[in-house]
Amino acid sequence: MRADFFSRLLEFRDAYTKGRTERGVSYALAIGREIGLTQEELDHLQTGGLIHDVGKVAIPDIILLKPAKLTAEEYEVMKLHVQYGYELVKDLGFPKEALDVLLYHQEKFDGSGYPFGKKGQDIPLLARIYTIADSFEAMTSRRIYKKSKPWKMALAELEELAGSHFDPDIVPYAVKVFEKIKPKEHILPEVDTELEKIRWSFYYVDFSGAIKGDLFLPTLNAFIEKGDPFCLTFFDVENLFEINQKFGWDKGNEVLKTLVNSINLQCCAMHDIRDLVIKLMRQDVIDITSPVIFRIGGDEFAVIAPYIPPPEKVEGVIKAMREKGVSIKALPMRFPESFKSSQEVLNVLVSFTKGVSIHLE
């Protein structure tokens, strides 16, 4: 079975791996050639790189696709992808040297890696090479929870971690290779297919029609870092508890859907939320021209708008909901006049919600 089948399989499972394996393999081969590996060794290195992450197909979506740093418990589950991958391909005829890349690419030179805690020369050479290539690729690519490192900063980090994470004898060869390569900073995954829109919308769109709060802080930080003026408005349903008590939870849920629809009509001119989710996951914040609605709590919503909506739009939401017997309070803020950091926003939010716990990471 061709090794590239497994890298393609993983790309269908997690679109954010698209291109990652190809880049990692190309980096590893360049390092291997610089060191002077034989063609047979290079072939094993390439095969091992193509299959190294296939075990991630067994990791639950809630962990594999999480748009934020993993918790300690989630990381322990993610670490299992090495053993899962080995079990998946061990009987398919791949050479031992290639399987070694899969098994040991998460080991660190000082023994602090996983799954076996091997150290130094006990880690097979090809795995030591691929670890450097894969790590450099990760440093210079970006995800929703982290920026890519500038090329020179990533090179400096390789040298800094030589002897701890990486083989200090291989790092100089890697640095020499990467210094010759044209920097490919801010690499973005391609997640623009209809399948991905559906997958991400199921995962990140709340039943109310708003985007789940997981993406609120990364988006807010991206807008702040961009530096252009924008508007942030909080909405809170003040009498949802009473509505739930009097009419039942289904009625309360309908209220939340109605509020999101009203915000869309008044402030957002309706938009394809699936496209917005894709843009947020790609972190293309500068391309977002429509307001984005997040559900950040039980009955709290936030709207980030790249322009400053007229006050009557917010009042229109409040009036439309009041006519349905729903009491809404709102708090419009402007960047940078009202706040200059996400921490300031969170402080205001705690006061606005009277200390109610909100669902942010």
Residues known to be catalytic: 56
| Cα 116 to Cα 106, 108, 111, 163, distances in angstroms | 9, 10, 8, 18
> Which residue, 275, 271, 252, is CA-closest to 263?
271
On whether the CB atoms of residues 151 and 140 are closer than 8 A, the answer is: yes
Q: Can you tell me the distance from the alpha carbon of 51 to that of 128, in angstroms, rounded to the nearest whole number? A: 16
The string of DSSP letters for 316-349 reads HHHHHHHTTT--EEEEEEEETTT-SSHHHHHHHH
Q: Give pairs for 325-328: CB < 8 Å, separation 24+.
A: 325/243, 326/237, 326/239, 326/240, 326/243, 326/255, 326/258, 326/259, 327/237, 327/238, 327/239, 328/235, 328/236, 328/237, 328/238, 328/259
What one-character DSSP code corresponds to residue 267?
I
3-state DSSP assignment of residue 166 = strand
Other beta carbons within 10 Å of 36: 8
CA–CA separation, 89 and 82 (whole Å): 11
Q: What is the DSSP string of 192-227?
A: -SHHHHHHHHHHHB-TTSSEEGGGHHHHHHHHHHH-
What is the torsion angle, in degrees rounded to the nearest 10, for the CA atoms of residue 259, residue 263, residue 265 and residue 267? 170
